[in-house]
Amino acid sequence: MAHVGVLSAFQKSGQHISYLAGSSIGAVVAALYSFGVPLVEIEDIVASLNWKTITDFGFGKDGGLFSNQLLGKAVTNVIGNTSIEDAPIPLAITATDISSGEKVVLRSGNLKKALMATTCVPGLYAPIEIDQRFLVDGGLLENVPISPLFDMGARYVYAVDLGHGAEYRRPTTFVDVLLNAFEVAIDHNTIAQLKRADSVIGLNLSSFSRIICEDPIPLVNVGREKALEVLEHDRDITKIIVRYFLKIKRNIQELFPWVFR
């Protein structure tokens, strides 16, 4: 839900969005926005998504207890049975091939299946087969998908980090155990991945429920306020120039590490 607030901050500031990429629930928000669904409507849709509304408890098979087909249907009801490449704002959705351990970036093909794949919690939901690959949550390998944006042609990338300064709660249910395990592993990888972003919108959402969103407004506000703060900071042209040359230096260091020894 915080993603909705971030997008509203970009709209308010007049910041143009050329490309979008997402994994898990972030991919759902990105997909809806890229197809032109108003933010107010996206907020209502995402607020309605929880374990009960997206889980088909009688359909689990092929490596999962349940199915998340209901999530796919919820998105289809809004924007139709469409393809990723039809999005007015170019869109990339990440998933993980659970058979090979490879990251998969989906930039074409059925949107419904792609969103089901990237939101598929391994073991809980059955993997989604796309092009003979068995796909699950994209966050396993790249929770904040920055690399696809550069591959698409982005020159300046904003990353939204929902785990900034995260605090892990003591689990009380098996779902909590699964989520904690996911988040610990994912957050560790995300720290390194965020270094590629030009600006990071870091959100600490530890005080919010990870399962049920009873009131979406506080989450939206957190995302909006932090994003506006970052965007205001980036308006300082001097800082932008400095970051640009620091980025060039980092790239040179990666290519020629001996130069800076």
170 close to 179: Cβ distance less than 8 angstroms: no
| Catalytic residue chosen out of the listed positions 8, 24, 34, 67 | 24
Q: Is 136 helix (H, G, I), strand (E, B) or coil?
A: strand
From the CB of residue 148, how many other CB atoms can be counted at a distance below 10 Å? Answer: 25
> For residue 170, what is the DSSP state?
P
- φ, ψ dihedrals at 121, nearest 5°: -75, 115
The bridge status of strand 64-66 relative to strand 123-125 is: parallel
Is residue 24 annotated as part of the catalytic site, yes or no?
Answer: yes
Give the residue among 140, 111, 105 at the shortest CA–CA distance from 123.
Answer: 140
CA distance 221 to 191: 24
Longest dimension (CA), the chain: 60
Is residue 207 annotated as part of the catalytic site, yes or no?
Answer: no
CA distance 104 to 133: 9
Beta-ladder partners of 92: 21
Sequence-separated (6 or more) residues with CB below 8 Å from residue 238 = none
DSSP 81-106: S-BGGG-SS-EEEEEEETTT--EEEE
| Catalytic residue chosen out of the listed positions 8, 23, 34, 137 | 137
* Residues recognised as catalytic: 24, 137
